[in-house]
Amino acid sequence: MSDQKGNLLGRRNFLKRSGLAMAGAPLLSMSGRDVRDASPTEDKESDFTFVFMTDIHIKPEMNAPLGFQMAIDKVNTLAPDFVITGGDLVYDVMRGNFEKSDGLFKLYTEMSKGFEMPVYNCIGNHDLFGIYEESPEDETHPDYKYGMWQRYFGDTYYAFDHKGWHFITLNSLDVTDNKRYKGFFHSEQLEWLRDHLEGVDKDTPIVITTHIPLLCTFSQLYGKEGSRTANNGAEVFEIFQHHNLKLVLQGHIHWMEYGNANNRVQFLTGGSIAGNGWKGRRHNTREGFMKIMVKGDSFEYEYVDHGWEAERLRLAAIKK
């Protein structure tokens, strides 16, 4: 992975100027495409497919390993070039307990070896070790907050290139003074991003991955108080202002959503693998992941149901 980081509009100005079109879509399946007028490419070797898979919430209980294995098997049949995860790989290490938490990361790490292609991981709130008040470990522990993640996966933000596209995974999490998580891109990371983008051609199509969404319609559609988006997401948009940011991949909400901001930046909120804690749908969105097909400098996508709902119901019927 190469070491990489760039300016868009402030959130308020961005929304006003972009004519943002966002659609919450908690559906079984959906397909879409980049609607910009892109010239068709003759070079099929530049085409590729990848998977965006978020909110896995792996744990030993609730048949979660079986469900995750079904997702791995489904991805392998699709044979994408690589997989990007959207955070919340495990459930849950925020409340600490080193032995239990370390075991969850070991479980995810071992199971993810089943993917037959590279996997690029993103950190989520449930992946932050020992940050809650009730944790027996505190900030003096070497694995505190990002530490356990870094020990298993390395940097919490990084970049890589693939067939002319540039991919940047960001860390959208920090901890509040009262020991809760918050959606926030810390200043050191934003400085890295600015410096990094100086080395990226302004015409290069860019994809960023974040666990906490940059834009999402959940609160507006459901009238929920509080924000489901990162507190300082506008700073990220500002950094990308003069770059070709094509797509934002996001997780956390456990539903499927597509957004198109002025035919410039598009957003995919990727559903979830775990649904409602492996107990069924959350927000009426079936468990699944995004298959994204890149063609030249445009893309299409579909939401893939990996079959967990049917299997969960079958297992429940056997128990009765």
Q: Mean per-residue pLDDT for 255-268?
A: 94
Q: State the chain's maximal CA–CA distance in angstroms.
A: 60
Q: What is the pLDDT of residue 195?
A: 98
> In this predicted model, what pLDDT tens digit does every residue of 142-169 receive, in sequence order?
999 999 999 999 999 999 999 999 999 9
The residue among 89 and 28 whose pLDDT is bigger is 89
Answer left, alpha or beta for residue 119, where phi above 0 means left and psi between -120 and 50 means alpha.
beta
Q: What is the pLDDT of residue 105?
A: 98
pLDDT band at 219 (very low <50, low <70, confident <90, very high): confident
Domain boundaries, the chain: 11-29+47-319
Coil, strand or helix at 237: helix
The residue among 85 and 227 whose pLDDT is bigger is 85
Q: In Å, how far from its chain's centre is CA 40? A: 28
Task: Assess whether pLDDT exceeds 70 at residue 131.
Answer: yes
Q: Mean per-residue pLDDT for 222-233?
A: 79
Q: Mean per-residue pLDDT for 27-48?
A: 48
Q: What are the distances in angstroms from CA 103 to CA 58, 129, 154?
A: 11, 12, 18
> In this predicted model, what pLDDT tens digit does every residue of 62-96 receive, in sequence order?
999 999 999 999 999 999 999 999 999 999 999 99
- CATH fold of the domain at 11-29+47-319: Purple Acid Phosphatase; chain A, domain 2 (3.60.21)
pLDDT band at 43 (very low <50, low <70, confident <90, very high): low
Task: Assess whether pLDDT exceeds 70 at residue 136.
Answer: yes
Task: Assess whether pLDDT exceeds 90 at residue 38.
Answer: no
The residue among 218 and 95 whose pLDDT is bigger is 95
Task: Assess whether pLDDT exceeds 80 at residue 41.
Answer: no
> In this predicted model, what pLDDT tens digit does every residue of 92-129 receive, in sequence order?
999 999 999 999 999 999 999 999 999 999 999 999 99
Sheet with 31-33, side-by-side order of all strands: 31-33, 298-305, 288-295, 48-53, 82-85, 119-120
Q: Mean per-residue pLDDT for 248-269?
A: 95
Coil, strand or helix at 124: coil
Q: What is the pLDDT of residue 45?
A: 81
Q: What is the pLDDT of residue 99?
A: 98
Tally of residues, the chain = 320
For residue 172, what is the DSSP state? -
| Consecutive H or E run containing 245 | strand 245-250
